[in-house]
Amino acid sequence: MRYQSQQVAWLFFAGAMVLFLAQVLFGVLAGLIYVYPNFLSELLPFNIIRMIHTNALIVWLLLGFFGGTYYLLPEETERELFSVRLAQLQFWIFFLAAAAAVVGYLLGIHEGREFLEQPTWVKVAITISVLLFLFNVSMTLFKGRKTATAQVLLLGLWGAAIFFLFAFYNPSNLVLDKLYWWWVVHIWVEGVWELIMAGILAFLLIKVTGVDREVIEKWLYVIVGLSLFTGLLGTGHHYYWIGAPGYWQWVGSIFSAVEIVPFFAMVLWAFYLVYQGRRDHPNKAALLWCLGCPTVAFFGAGVWGFMHTLSPINYYTHGTQVTAAHGHLAFYGAYVMLNLAIITYAMPNLRGLQPFNQVLNMWSFWLMTSAMAFMTFTLTFAGVVQTHLQRVMGMSYMEVQDQLTLFYWMRLGAGVFVVVGAILFIYAVYGPVREQLTVQEAQAQPAE
């Protein structure tokens, strides 16, 4: 670690990991209710558990993005962060607002609208925290070296904040409500967050491969252009059946089909650079996450997204388990793995150690990733059976659910392994380190 202010990232990563664990545990609870429908029904109903599962996910991913940005920005801009105090303040506002939202959910206080259930005052607190964050990082960039990597990352973060503002607009007309709801939900993950992903990956690839920045950043422009070109109009794949004009069938199908291209470009980018790389970076686990992230994102978002994105297909699959299969693998590959990559890379530096517990970390990679893949397969099979029985044969919803029990058991099993993988990851990164040189000791060793 070269800059003192980078240390503040530690706080954000720790907060993220606490919520990550909560997220996957609530996922398992939700999965349990799928096979024991009355489990907890009096105490903690399924809709609340689901809300905590999805909200904790979004919040910890954002905390990870904030931490990652605070970590990499000093190295990119070649100066300390504008203000560490402000960063700490921003963390606590955000973390406490999220915690208050969860307590509220447990008491049954929420405002509906999937993913955006937070009470308005929590949304206001989140907005204030994000504005403090953006001010802090923009001032840092403003005063320092302006690399393409940092600029793309900040563009993505600003975009995320701007589109979040549509969460405050909730028209009573249901068509308009849904139309704008997707401006947050879709444009985040298939637009502005993709820029965050590309920016953080660019930083990591520069570090772990040692390839020239110029080469890496040339790709970055192409990826950013493709993401925005396809992702914005690709929103149309959510406008098929909500009462929007018919031309969205065409616009949504065509543009969202092309959304695969930036995800595929990121796979080529990462593998090409690692192949070209001259440097034998000691953090092998970070390298693994850097390659895994775009690969699984390509399958989860690209392949599993394409599977149901054309309107004649979506007509049958809309809102079935096919959607849940895609939602899980896409979020996991693109954004969970991205955060685990930057955390794996940054934590040894933040702890002042050489890369440590690498084998354990890589075990958590394979365990978690295989379990998420298995969960995706079971949900995909469930979704295909569901689509056929319900939408083609016309069986009733609950009758069909009875036919899917086996798949739900397998999803639960996979979920337990995801939790084990998550615990393993947290232990590998935060746990004790045996016989590990500190950076100073390693430097004092004579070269071999």
CB 309 within 8 A of CB 257: yes
Count CB-CB contacts under 10 A for residue 138: 14
Shorter beta-carbon distance to ligand HEM: residue 76 or 194: 194
Q: End-to-end distance of the chain based on CA atoms, in angstroms?
A: 23
Six-digit token pair at 162?
């701007």
Please compute Rg for the chain using Cα positions: 22
List binders of ligand HEM among 357-396 (CB under 6 A): none
Residues in contact with ligand HEM, total (CB under 6 A)? Answer: 43
- Per-residue interface string for the shown chain with Fe ion, residues 162-201, x marking contact by CB under 5 A: ------------------------x---x-----------
Closest separation in Å from C-beta 336 to ligand HEM:
5
Closest CA to 167 of 236, 113, 129, 94: 113
Using the contact rule CB under 6 A, the part of the chain among 103-111, 242-250, 274-282, 295-303 near ligand HEM is: 295-303
SS (H, E, C) 9-54: HHHHHHHHHHHHHHHHHHHHHHHHHHHCCCCCCCCCCHHHHHHHHH
Using the contact rule CB under 6 A, the part of the chain among 149-157, 162-170, 350-358, 411-419 near ligand HEM is: 411-419
Closest separation in Å from C-beta 17 to ligand HEM:
12
The yes or no reply on residue 327 touching ligand HEM (CB under 6 A) is: yes
Sign of CA dihedral 129, 134, 136, 137: positive
Closest separation in Å from C-beta 415 to ligand HEM:
2
Shorter beta-carbon distance to Fe ion: residue 312 or 432: 312
Using the contact rule CB under 6 A, the part of the chain among 47-55, 65-73, 80-88, 92-100 near ligand HEM is: 47-55
Shorter beta-carbon distance to ligand HEM: residue 335 or 356: 335
Cα(239)–Cα(304) distance, rounded to whole angstroms?
A: 19
Shorter beta-carbon distance to ligand HEM: residue 30 or 350: 30
Considering only the C-alpha atoms of the chain, give the largest distance between any 2 of them, rounded to a whole number of Å: 74
Closest CA to 339 of 3, 62, 148: 62
Q: What is the DSSP letter of 353?
A: B
Closest separation in Å from C-beta 306 to Fe ion:
12
Shorter beta-carbon distance to ligand HEM: residue 207 or 308: 308
Judge residue 47's burial from the number of C-beta atoms within 10 Å of its C-beta, 0-12 exposed, 13-18 middle, 19 or more buried: middle
Which residues form the interface with Fe ion (CB under 5 A)?
Answer: 186, 190
Which residues form the interface with ligand HEM (CB under 6 A)?
Answer: 24, 27-28, 30-31, 34, 50, 53-54, 57, 114, 189-190, 237-238, 256, 259-260, 297, 301-302, 305-306, 308-309, 314, 318-319, 323-324, 326-328, 330-332, 334, 336, 411-412, 415, 418-419
